[in-house]
Structure formats: C-alpha cells, structure tokens
Amino acid sequence: MDFQLTKEQEFVRKMVRKFAETEVEPIAADCDKEHRFPEETVKKMGEYGLLGVPFPKDVEGAGGDHISYAITVEELSRCCASTGVICSAHTSLCAWPIYAWGNEEQIKKYVPDLCSGRKLGAFGLTEPNAGTDAGGQQTRAEDMGDHWLLNGAKVFITNGGYADTFVVMAMTDKKKGTRGGISSFIVEKGFEGFSIGKTEDKMGICASSTTELIFQNCKVPKENILGNPGEGFKVAMSTLDGGRIGIASQALGIAQGAFDVTVEYMKSRKQFGKRLADMQALQFEMAEMKTRIDAARLLIYRAADMKDKHLKYGPASAMAKLYAAETAMYVTTKAVQFHGGYGYIKDYPVERMMRDAKITEIYEGTSEVQKMVIAADVFKK
Amino acid sequence: MAIEIIKEKCIGCKLCLKACPFEAIDMVGKLAVINEKCTACNQCIDVCKFSAIVKTEEAEGPVDLSAYKNVWVYAEQRAGKLMNVALELIGEGRRLAREISDDAKVYAVLVGNGISGLKTECFEYGADGVVMIEHPLLENFTTDGYTKVFFDAVNEYKPEIVLFGATHIGRDLAPRVAARLNTGLTADCTRLDVKVSSYVDYAKKNTTLDTSTLDPNSDDKGLKQTRPAFGGNLMATIICPRTRPQMATVRPGVMTRRERKPGAKGEVIVYNPSLGDSDIRTKIVEIVKSAKEIVSLTDADIICSGGRGLGDPSGFDLIKQFADKVGGVVGSSRAAVDAGWIDHSHQVGQTGTTVKPKIYFACGISGAIQHLAGMQTSDIIVAINKDPDAPIFEVADYGIVGDLYKVIPQIIAEWDSAEDLYEATLR
Amino acid sequence: MAFKIIVCAKQVPDTNEIKIDPIKKTLIREGVPSILNHDDANALEEALKIKDQYPDTHITVITMGPPQAKDLLIECMAMGADDGILLSDRALGGSDTWATSNAIAAAIGKLGGFDLIFAGRQAIDGDTAQVGPQIAEKLGIPQVTYVADFSIDSDMKHITVHRALEDGYEIIKIETPCMLTAIKELNTPRHMSIGGIFDAVKKDMPVWGAKDLGVDTDREVGLEASPTNVYRSFTPAPKGKGIVIEGDTDKELADRLLINLKKKHVI
C-alpha cells in the first residue's frame, strides 16, 4: 500500500493546477454568468493532452493512469466545475467505452480524434422516462439490413451542443428487455436524422452544455454498433462505473476549491477585532471540512487505482462518488456561510461552487443509486 | 570561507534550519549539518542560541590589491545625453572615494563618440576627473565594443571600485567586463559603504541587523555592497575581498546626486581605444524610442485608483491626469465600476484584477474587503480620503486625510520637484 | 545537422510566496514551492517555437542546483525540450555568478557544438542578470540581453532581435552562435503537456559534478573560488504601521508625501 503520488501524478497535478489557474479560473465566473461553453479552453485542453489522460500514446492519449485522470478532473473543477465535467463526460463516457468495447477499426477511427481533442465526446443514456431506471429505454434501433435506424430522444446530455461523437444506447430487442435488449451505438454529429434539441437552463454548471438529442429515422452505419447487439446495458453500466470516478473527482475539486477560497477569506476578514481564522468555532468547522475532503480523495484514488489494476471497482467508485458529492455539498454550503453576505453574492466564487456542487449528487447516478450499488454488493448472495 | 557547526555545542534544536533561506542545513541525527546549498549568508549564525555556528575567515588572496586606486563610475550617456543615474553615481562615488582616503578620487568614465562636452556636467556634479573614451565605433552602445574598451582602460588605470547604473545597458556591460577581468560583480545595489563605521550607522538606522559583531574602528576598507534578494524579502551585503576592481551595478534613483556647482573643473584623462569593425559582432539596425506602452494593471509599477469618493464620473479625468503624470495606470474600486463611472477592466479587487505595484494610490476608496483582497500586497499604499475612519487607512503606508480634488492637483504639480524637495530636507 | 539550442534555466523559490516571520525576522521557506524561473520559461518557449517551425532542432536544458532541480528538467522536457543536464555537486555549492558561469560554460563546452543559447534575463531569487552575459563571455560568443522579439532567417544563421530599453528598443542583427537573454515580453510560455510528463519522467538525466566538468574546485567553482562573498545578510526593517501625513495646506500634504516616497526610493 502506498499513499504517495508518483512523480508523474505530482507533475500532472502541478500542470493542471497551473493550467486551471491561468486558463480556466479567469473566465469561470463569466462563463457561468453568460452560460457560455468555454470552447477556447476545451481546444487548449486537447492540445495539452487533458482530454486523453488515461489512454495509451498509440491512440494519441497521454499514456497516463486513472489517478492522473482523477487529478486532472479534480484540479479543473477546483477552478470551474463546468470545465471539469466537460473533461469527465468526454473522457469517461465517450472515449473510454469506445476504447474498451470498440473493435480495432472503431478504436482507430474514433479514439485518437477524441484523445487529442480534435473531436469532443458525449454519452446518451438518460431519457425523459428512463433516468435512474435506465433499463426503461424507449429509443429504438431497428436493424434495416445495411444500417440501423434510430428513433427516440435523449435528455440531459452533457456536452450535447458541442460534441462530435456520441455513444448512444437504444433498444434493439424489446422482448429481451434491459439485459440483452439494449445495444450501444457510435453516432456522429451530422448523421442524417440526428439533431440537437433544446439546451437546458440549469441551476449550476452553467458553462457546460446540457441538451436533448433527437433521433428521427436516424441512419447509423451497420459497423457503428459498439460491442455486440444486446450488450448495450453492460457497456452503459461499465461506463458509468468509470464515470463515477470522474464525477467524484469533480465533486472533490469543487470542495477543495471552496475550501481554499474560504481559508484565504478567513485570513483577511476581521470581525470583532479578530480574523475569522482565529475563531475556534470556525477553525473546528474547517477541520471537519478538511477531513471530509481528504477522506473523499482517498476513496476516489483507491477506486481509480483499482480500475488501473483491473479489479472490480464498481462498489468502490460508487462509494467515492457518494461521499465526494455529499462532501462537495457540505463544504460549499459552509463556505458560503463563512463568507456571510459576501458568500451569497457573485463577487466571490463560493455561491457558484455551491450551485455547481448539487449536480454531483444527481447525475451519473444519484446518491440513492450509489447506495443501491453499494448495498447490492453488501448483500450479494 | 565557510560556515561550520561546532559539534560539541549543537543541541539539534533546528532553529538554524528554519532560519536558513537556502535550505542549506540538514539534520543528521541530532546534529545540524551544512550542505552544498550554503551561500555563507550568516542567517543561521544570528539565530543560533548556543553559539554553535561559526564562520571561518578566508586567507588573503594572491592579487596585489594595493595596485588599485580610485573610484570609477560609468557615466552612461545615450545619444549624447547623460543618464540621471550617472550623476547619482558621481555623487555616490565621491562619497566612497572620501571614505577610502583623502587622496582617492572619483572619475566619470565617458564612453561614446563626440561626447567630450559632457565632461563639464560630470565635473559640476562632483567628479574629480573624467576618463574620455571616444571612437566612431562607440557611437551607440554595443556589448562587444564597450566591453573591450572598458576592459582595456581598467587594465591600464586599475581603479579600486567601478560602479555602473543598473540600467538595461549597465546590466549588459558590467557582467561582461567583470567576467573578462575575472573579478566579482554585485548587482542592483541600493547601498554602498567603505568604512565599517558608516555601514554600522546605516545598518542601525535601517535594518534588523545585529551590529554588535562589527568593529566601527576596523581598518577594513573593502566595498560593502548591499542589495535586496528574494524579491526584497532579504537584504545581503556582499564583499569582494580577493580581487580588484570591486564592481557593482547600482539601482537608478537610489543614490543622491550632489548639488550642481557651475564652473567646477577637474582632471581629464583621454584614453585612446584600439577598436576595429571585427571587434563588434552585433549590428544595431535601428533605435526606436517609444512612449511608455500602456501596461496592464498587473504589470504596472504605479496604479492610481479612484473610488466612490470621487463623487462623479468626471473624477476619473483627474485620476487619469494623475496616472499620466506619474507614469501609472488607472485603477478603480468596484463601487466606481458599478456606478458606471469606468469600465470593469480597471477594477482592482476580488472580482477584478489582483495587483502588486510598487505604489498604489487609493483615491476616494474606502477599502472594502473585496478591494483590499486585490491590492494589499502592493509595496507602498498611499490613501487619500476625506473620512479618517475609512478602512483603507489600516493598510496604507501613507495616509492623507483630505479632499482629493485639492490634494491630487498639488501632487501632480510637485511631482517633478520631488527630488529637490527631498534634497532640501537633507540640508 | 540538427539546429542545436541550449537553454539555461534555474529552479527558484516562488518569491511571491515567501514571507518574513514577524517575530524571528527570518524568511519562512516552509511550503514555498520551487518553480521554473519566469524569464527562463520565456527562454525555453522561444527555443520551442523554433523547434515548432523547424522540427530538426534539438533543445538541451542545463541547470545547476541541488538534486531536486531534476524536477525542473522534467518540467522543461514535459514542455518539449529534448533532454536535460543537471550540474549538481557539493563542490559547486555557494558559487557566485562568476563561478556559476564557469561551471555552466564548462558544461556547454563538454556538450560540444551549439548554435544558440537562450537564458532568462535574470532569476527572481537573486535578480542579478549576470550569469547569461558571463557565460557568453567565457564561451567567447556575442550576446544580446533583454530580448523582447526574435526572428531567425531560414539559413538558421542570421537573427534579428528587439532589445528592450527603458524608453524603447533597439533592433539588432546578430549571427549564430550567440547568447540571447529573454524577458517576459518575448512570448507566453506554454504549459507542460500531460503526455510530455509521462515521457519526461522516464527519461535519463545526466548529473554532472565538478569532476565531469573538469573544473578546478579551488579556483573556478564553488564558494571558495567565488570572488564575491556574503558579508552580512538581514531582513529589511519591518514595514511599520502606516503614517498619517499631517500638514496645514494641501501643498504641504503633497510635498510631505513626495518627500516620504523619495526617501523610500520608490519614486
């Protein structure tokens, strides 16, 4: 057991922190306010390898591991949670399933473009009537002999408005139901019959693009099925196991960012003739926050390490996400409180961080779903 | 010369570890050990409560130091006009020469082409003599040309001390000359002393240095060159004990020039340089004068900021005049931006830019926490505000309680005579 | 023949993070991160820009410092430099600028030929701006300091630079081999790349000591050989509590403020 980061991981943190502080943080508040997707930052993230961290160099990845990937999302989210989730959804939910489930041609065709950031990725599972109960897919894919025909709609798709490559789930055999009836497909922007629906107006992560995907007799080439027909649910669930590491890292980054800002504020803000930092009641609260942040970090790095070692990491990543998301809410709520009135206005970033934190308890499996996963592991057999 | 730990006295308290600016002390068991990062800066000696750290003194060097006499200052001129720092150095050089001995002199070294007229100015500001080095190839400064002639002249006349202004030219020329002479050079000095007694006086008045180990009556006449390091967080006094000349570049604006004495005369040494085209390996295509570029808030040395206390948007006209006069950039508080008086790009503070200029003028700014967050690490903060209880005065180095519309025009009017005002206080 | 560039870089404490212990009056170095010196990052960036344009360019970074300075070389290679050499030896410790330039010039000599040397103008811990010119002197090559703009002809021989002055700039032509010292106006340094990090950490990094350099430890490098020594060092007098300027007229207030600013040497 080794709790020290490797040299590579330390450097990844150093690099991404500096990148985030110089390229991301200065525009974070404006992007949030204007609900503007930070295209220019995403382009730079591609150039610097931030969009392909855990993939080997032969597919133009950075040749890194999943702890490095977790650090990347964490450090981006420390400055801007929207930028963090752009990276996470792209990497965990699009590049990863194609790399893990794709055949040689598919990997060659799609993964290098994604890792290098020439293309941005997204993932379509959730539907208006299939959220936590993801098995209830109503999007259908019909085998037309030389192609697949997709009909239906997806909602709440992260990166929807700016992605080029989508991994999409659809029912191919209703009789077989969730297991065996769902298949996954690689859909490209511009495929006939595929369009982007409305862009959601959200409470937080306002700089990320969350949209509907609409399939009206959308023609998908035969070879774009990902995995075998009927394996879609397995593709989706294995993808989400990894995605949770990304979202947990996003939550961790939000918590750390709010914590760091609060420490600085407490050192300068004086009331009753002394600094907030010198008040024991507040010090104890900060100690509690710090402890939770560190606990979340250890859970996440453990899950990422297990993934690198090809161990079964589903319950571990569920615990990481559950705990990190709750920590993000806990810390950001306190951070706003400690800033007092200044915390509630947009001069300080903590109100944005508090709004951003809430989503981490909801997407890629609500906290309740994480508990289902963890409990299922507790009571198996 | 080196720092040594007396093993018998060291108790392993680690005070020296914490004091060391260079991480040059390791603990080996319960014993402090000096490692290779040591620069012999003495910080550890001062903090050790057990007298367990000592400095071993060096032996006399092989160079015949007595062959070197007098103080030279590089009288930097550009396009036939002396730089202010040249006049400051003449004044300082004269003071140092008198500290060395009654017969030591200060020479202004003029390098260029067709600049002999400048010698009068040098004399009038206190030079005992000038060394004229003129040649058509010295028309403009080139590293190669100036280094060669300066090096040759130093070898011929053997000055004991050579000073340069720490300008873009002085800092190009001096290191090159020092390397060719194989002597030491101290950069960007802000204080020079020859006599130990004058160093002690300076240190007592301006620093935290414990002067009890210094003997004011010592006959040590080496040049003590004091300069900031670590961004001004540490001051170091540097000596050059074994080689000559002792060379330093001196920060412009720090030393005081002498009062001009019209008609003063002095010795003229004409040095004929040997210089050919092939000696100069760079070619100046053009020298472009540019008005100071408009710098960003982040890079500005001086920021003049206005706040709600301006009363109305036209107040920024005055702030702009102020900034133009002092070569600064206009900043503002959030209140002024929110009132629509000035663009957000000027805003200093939590939601604006974080700045760290040499001088921050806060004019009519009360000092709300989000403003202080963006400027309180400025080197010098000057606050001008009607309200004596404004929080800005808590972080200000200089506060003026008054009407900014009356005070600022006065500052603008007097700005150029600051030097004279200051010198008047010295007399 | 590859175009060979040497970049001289230094690992420095982030002086923005350095504070004075208010009681002990000593520098607090604890937790102060070490960083690639700012001007040196500009120097490396300019070399990398040449390599972007002419891929047959080889960039070697040389640094001198304690063993931890390897991290600086990793950072430079993660930005795109080809290799890095660390000069590290107890015998090099305590070198002043003259002795440091002896060591680095010896290392450059040992590497064989080069076309161009980039260094930062100065390091933020010492602010001397002396090592670059002194290396050039020891190698006998011409220099331009304060380089704010750079271009090289496709013959990879003729270079045109802007040299910043206090009140403008000079346009200077110079030929390789030469030494150029960079200022921040020259460019905006790139970041490391994630892929670069994973390659750089694996790379071999030669560490050369005084013996490898063939320098005389009594007369050329190290504390003993350095012509300058530290006589005393101290922290500046603490910034006192602010002064409220008193005066009967506005002119008096203005004058007294200016006298104070002048006394502090800030104007």
Identify whether A218 is part of a domain.
Answer: yes
DSSP B242: S
Say if residues B316 and B306 touch (Cβ distance below 8 Å).
yes
Pairing of strands C19-20, B398-401: unpaired
DSSP B341: S
Contact list, B350 vs chain A (CB under 8 Å): 347-348
Sheet bearing B224-229, strands edge to edge: B191-193, B224-229, B234-239, C229-234
- Report chain C's C-alpha Rg in angstroms: 21
Contact (CB<8Å) C74/A63 = no
Say if residues C86 and C65 touch (Cβ distance below 8 Å).
yes
Paired with B3 in beta bridges are B55
Closest chain B C-alpha to C176 CA, distance in angstroms: 10
Tokens of C181: 């010292």
Residue A225 sits in a domain whose CATH number is 2.40.110.10
Which amino acid is located at A283 in the chain?
Q
Say if residues A255 and A332 touch (Cβ distance below 8 Å).
yes
Closest chain B C-alpha to A360 CA, distance in angstroms: 26
Phi, psi dihedrals of residue B45, rounded to the nearest 5°: -60, -40
Paired with B34 in beta bridges are B25
Q: Do A156 and A262 lie in a common domain?
A: no
Q: Can A364 be counted among the known catalytic residues? A: yes
Sign for the pseudo-dihedral over CA of C247, C249, C251, C254: positive
- The fold for domain C3-225 equals Rossmann fold (3.40.50)
Task: Say yes or no: C193 contacts chain A, CB-CB below 8 A.
Answer: yes
Paired with B108 in beta bridges are B73, B130
Tokens of B300: 């500005």
Tokens of B156: 């011929």
The whole-number pLDDT of residue A179 equals 86
Please choose, from the candidates B259, B251, B198, the residue with its C-alpha nearest in 3D space to the C-alpha of residue B224: B198
Contact (CB<8Å) B379/C266 = yes
Please choose, from the candidates A313, A358, A353, the residue with its C-alpha nearest in 3D space to the C-alpha of residue A336: A353
Identify the residue among A6, A7, A18 best suited for mutation to test binding to C, counting C beta carbons within 10 A and taking the highest: A7
Q: Do domains B2-56 and B302-422 have the same CATH topology?
A: no
Say if residues A117 and A43 touch (Cβ distance below 8 Å).
yes
The whole-number pLDDT of residue B57 equals 61
- Report chain B's C-alpha Rg in angstroms: 25
The whole-number pLDDT of residue B18 equals 82
Identify whether A193 is part of a domain.
Answer: yes
DSSP string, A264-287: HHHHH-EETTEEGGG-HHHHHHHH
Contact list, B351 vs chain A (CB under 8 Å): 29, 346-347
Tokens of A86: 């752009």
* Residue of chain B with shortest Cα separation from C222: B36
Contact list, C194 vs chain A (CB under 8 Å): 12, 15-16, 48-50, 52-53, 62, 64, 68, 72
- Rounded to whole angstroms, the Cα distance separating A79 from A356 reads 11
Contact (CB<8Å) C194/A64 = yes
* Single pTM value for the model: 0.89
Say if residues B175 and B188 touch (Cβ distance below 8 Å).
no
Which residue segment(s) compose the domain that A75 sits in? 7-115
Tokens of C170: 């000079």
Which amino acid is located at B69 in the chain?
K
Tokens of B125: 């500001």
Contact list, C166 vs chain B (CB under 8 Å): 167-168
Please choose, from the candidates A31, A197, A59, A37, the residue with its C-alpha nearest in 3D space to the C-alpha of residue A116: A59
The whole-number pLDDT of residue B61 equals 52
Identify whether A1 is part of a domain.
Answer: no
Residues of chain C with confidence (pLDDT) below 50: none
The CATH-assigned architecture of domain B65-207+217-279 is 3-Layer(aba) Sandwich (3.40)
Contact list, B20 vs chain C (CB under 8 Å): 29
Tokens of A127: 């539907």
Q: Do A219 and A248 lie in a common domain?
A: no
Q: Do A243 and A371 lie in a common domain?
A: yes
Sheet bearing B359-363, strands edge to edge: B329-332, B302-306, B359-363, B380-385, B398-401, C243-244
| Domain residue ranges in chain B | 2-56, 65-207+217-279, 302-422
Which of C75, C191, C201 has the CB atom closest to A8's CB atom?
A: C201
Tokens of C109: 């000599």
Identify whether A2 is part of a domain.
Answer: no
If 0-12 CB within 10 Å is exposed, 13-18 middle and 19+ buried, where does residue A296 land?
Answer: buried
pLDDT digits (tens, 9 = 90+) for A198-215: 999 999 999 999 999 999
pLDDT digits (tens, 9 = 90+) for C12-32: 988 766 776 666 666 676 778
pLDDT, tens digit only, all 427 positions of chain B: 578 888 888 888 888 888 887 788 888 888 888 887 787 777 788 788 888 888 776 544 556 788 899 999 999 999 999 999 999 999 999 999 999 999 999 999 999 999 999 999 999 999 999 999 999 999 999 999 999 999 999 999 999 999 999 999 999 999 999 999 999 999 999 999 999 999 999 998 888 888 888 999 998 999 999 998 877 778 899 999 999 999 999 998 888 889 899 999 999 999 999 999 999 999 999 999 876 556 688 888 899 999 999 999 999 999 999 999 998 999 999 889 888 899 888 999 887 788 889 999 999 999 988 898 889 888 899 999 999 989 999 899 999 999 999 999 999 999 999 888 888 887 6
The whole-number pLDDT of residue B292 equals 56
Q: Look at domain B2-56 and name its CATH class.
A: alpha beta
* 3-class SS of residue B172: helix
Q: Average per-residue pLDDT in chain C? A: 92
Strands (E), A200-351: 210-221, 225-226, 270-271, 274-275
Q: What's the per-residue H, E or C state across C39-56?
A: HHHHHHHHHHHHHHHCCC
- Helices C70-79/A7-19 angle, 10° precision: 60
Say if residues C140 and C172 touch (Cβ distance below 8 Å).
no
Q: Do A252 and A310 lie in a common domain?
A: yes
Q: Do A343 and A325 lie in a common domain?
A: yes
Task: Say yes or no: C94 contacts chain B, CB-CB below 8 A.
Answer: yes
- Rounded to whole angstroms, the Cα distance separating B241 from C98 reads 14
Interface chains of chain C (3 or more CB pairs under 8 Å): A, B
Task: Say yes or no: A219 contacts chain B, CB-CB below 8 A.
Answer: no
Q: Do A330 and A243 lie in a common domain?
A: yes
* Residue found by looking up tokens 């010098």 in the block: B380
Contact (CB<8Å) C101/B179 = yes
User: Which of residues A194, A214, A230 is at a domain's end?
Assistant: A230
Q: Average per-residue pLDDT in chain A? A: 96
Number of structural domains in chain A = 3
Q: Do A91 and A135 lie in a common domain?
A: no
- Rounded to whole angstroms, the Cα distance separating A213 from A207 reads 18
Closest chain A C-alpha to B353 CA, distance in angstroms: 10
Cβ atoms within 10 Å, residue C184: 15
* Residue of chain C with shortest Cα separation from B422: C259
pLDDT band at A259 (very low <50, low <70, confident <90, very high): very high
* Residue of chain C with shortest Cα separation from A57: C195
User: Which of residues A230, A252, A285 is at a domain's end?
Assistant: A230
Residue A22 sits in a domain whose CATH number is 1.10.540.10
Which of A29, A264, A347 has the CB atom closest to B370's CB atom?
A: A347
Closest chain B C-alpha to A26 CA, distance in angstroms: 10
Contact list, A48 vs chain C (CB under 8 Å): 191-194
Closest chain A C-alpha to B334 CA, distance in angstroms: 10
pLDDT band at A341 (very low <50, low <70, confident <90, very high): very high
pLDDT digits (tens, 9 = 90+) for A265-324: 999 888 998 999 999 999 999 999 999 999 999 999 999 999 999 999 999 999 999 999
The whole-number pLDDT of residue B140 equals 96
Tokens of C124: 């933020």
The whole-number pLDDT of residue B39 equals 78
The kind and range of the H/E element at A314 are helix A314-339
Interface chains of chain B (3 or more CB pairs under 8 Å): A, C
Interface confidence (ipTM) of the complex: 0.94
* 3-class SS of residue C132: helix
Contact (CB<8Å) B369/A342 = yes
- Rounded to whole angstroms, the Cα distance separating B265 from C39 reads 45
Q: Do A139 and A179 lie in a common domain?
A: yes
Q: Does the pLDDT of residue A173 top 90, yes or no?
A: yes
- The fold for domain B302-422 equals Rossmann fold (3.40.50)
- Helices A66-79/A232-268 angle, 10° precision: 50
Identify whether A44 is part of a domain.
Answer: yes
Which amino acid is located at B80 in the chain?
G
The whole-number pLDDT of residue C25 equals 60
User: Which of residues A93, A115, A137 is at a domain's end?
Assistant: A115
Say if residues B369 and B339 touch (Cβ distance below 8 Å).
no
